[in-house]
Amino acid sequence: MEVKILGAGPAGLSAAITAVRRGNEAVVYERRADCGGRFKGDLQGLENWSSKIDVLEEFESRGIRTSGFYTAPFRELLLTEGRRGLRRVETSRPMFYLVKRGIVEGSIDQGLKKQAIEMGVRIEFNSCKTEKDVDIVATGPRRERIVAVDKGIVFSTSTEDIAVALINDKAAYKAYAYLLVTGGYGCMCTVVFGDLKKLDESFEETVRAFGGMFRFEVKNPVPVGGSASFYMGADGFVRNGRFYAGEAAGLQDAAFGFGIRSAVISGSMATESLIDGKDYKKEARGKYMRYMEATFTLRLLWEHGLARIYPDLYNAAGKINKEMPLWLSGLFYRDTLINRGLFPLAQRILGDRREEGRSATGVEGSKAFME
């Protein structure tokens, strides 16, 4: 069969690669002129904490070749709220892998595109196809559900590799700002949740705060940024017979906005279900329902005290042993009694906020998600 896919992001390309790997044909319709056009060389993290399985191994196990794009493992993260100095967190295995996004050499977007084309996937760029023309929809965030925004710069630098997260509402309203450097390439950004109009002032504060903390060289800065949406509805994975994957299905870490891992895996799952005639909605809900609930709960905890103690908590965990910080993160993302118990509260509180019009932290999705 020929699997038709809308959107050539990580979810769509993974879906296409899976189709061909399973002996089928695949065509991907992409509205932009190239893969990764949504980004401009941003550094993003492939999180490695929500599962005990290493994210790169998980990709490989689904036939996604990870040697085709740049990945920089990080076992050390510096955390700060800006005033009381830096807290170092070290882990035994990588906490995350930095990847590049966009139409740039070595990006995950270009790496997946190359693999897909080499395997025989047909990608039609500048396409005007719509959802009704395809089997799998992987079109990324839904504009009407934007809940977080990000603004920053990427730059060349001679500064050594570093990863720092700044947790402070002035620099990153209800979220975090970050300074990342890998192999002479840097990225400094802020993320804002809910009150999206705070973005510019947050970024100004981010620049001021990191500038006060470190001496780092910034050459040839390029502005970057974007938005994220979380939505997990009863119609999230399957609608009108079509399968939805990645952010188009609302799959996204509602606490922190890490969506690449679930995009790649859900894209592959959508194709597997299509080919094998499996119930994709059931499969996807089985894998992601508790995960999404946990991330909503984590967002609630983050906004109600966890953010304030986070640097000290992780620093203390790392002092016990280097397994502990990842174990702790895993706990926040796993199906636990605490997460299950707190989820209805998260749903209610975040939902009330949405109804007040102050933010739409994805709760509409989470309500439908429970249906």
In whole angstroms, give the CA distance from residue 347 to residue 213.
37
Using the rule CB under 6 A, which residue among 3, 4, 5, 11 binds ligand FAD?
A: 11
Of residues 108 through 127, those in contact with ligand FAD by CB under 6 A are 127
In the complex, least distance from residue 164 CB atom to ligand FAD, rounded to whole angstroms: 14
**17-33 residues labelled b (16+ CB within 10 A) or e (exposed):** bbbbbbeeebbbbbbee
236 is a contact residue toward ligand FAD (CB under 6 A):
no
Relative to beta strand 185-193, strand 146-156 is antiparallel
Using the rule CB under 6 A, which residue among 5, 10, 317, 339 binds ligand FAD?
A: 10
Which residues are bridge partners to 100 per DSSP? 43
- Considering beta carbons, is residue 94 or 226 the nearer one to ligand FAD? 226
In the complex, least distance from residue 320 CB atom to ligand FAD, rounded to whole angstroms: 27
Q: Binding segment for ligand FAD among 17-25, 40-48, 72-80, 283-291 (CB under 6 A)?
A: 40-48
362 is a contact residue toward ligand FAD (CB under 6 A):
no
Write the interaction track for ligand FAD spanning residues 259-298; mark x where CB under 6 A is met and - where it is not: xxx-x-----------------------------------
190 is a contact residue toward ligand FAD (CB under 6 A):
no
Using the rule CB under 6 A, which residue among 4, 5, 9, 179 binds ligand FAD?
A: 9
246 is a contact residue toward ligand FAD (CB under 6 A):
yes
CB neighbours of residue 52 within 10 Å: 11
CB neighbours of residue 215 within 10 Å: 6
CB neighbours of residue 228 within 10 Å: 23
7 is a contact residue toward ligand FAD (CB under 6 A):
yes
Size of the site for ligand FAD (CB under 6 A): 36
In the complex, least distance from residue 238 CB atom to ligand FAD, rounded to whole angstroms: 16
- Considering beta carbons, is residue 184 or 225 the nearer one to ligand FAD? 225
Using the rule CB under 6 A, which residue among 24, 156, 227, 315 binds ligand FAD?
A: 227
Taking every pair of Cα atoms in the chain, the longest distance, rounded to a whole number of angstroms, is: 59
**Residue 344 near residue 370 (C-beta atoms within 8 A):** no
Q: Binding segment for ligand FAD among 58-66, 80-88, 153-161, 219-227 (CB under 6 A)?
A: 219-227
Of residues 44 through 83, those in contact with ligand FAD by CB under 6 A are 44-45, 47
Using the rule CB under 6 A, which residue among 3, 153, 228, 363 binds ligand FAD?
A: 228
- Considering beta carbons, is residue 171 or 342 the nearer one to ligand FAD? 171
Using the rule CB under 6 A, which residue among 30, 135, 283, 293 binds ligand FAD?
A: 30
Residues that bind ligand FAD in the complex, under the rule CB under 6 A: 6-12, 29-32, 37-38, 42, 44-45, 47, 127, 138-140, 150, 225-228, 246-248, 252, 257-261, 263
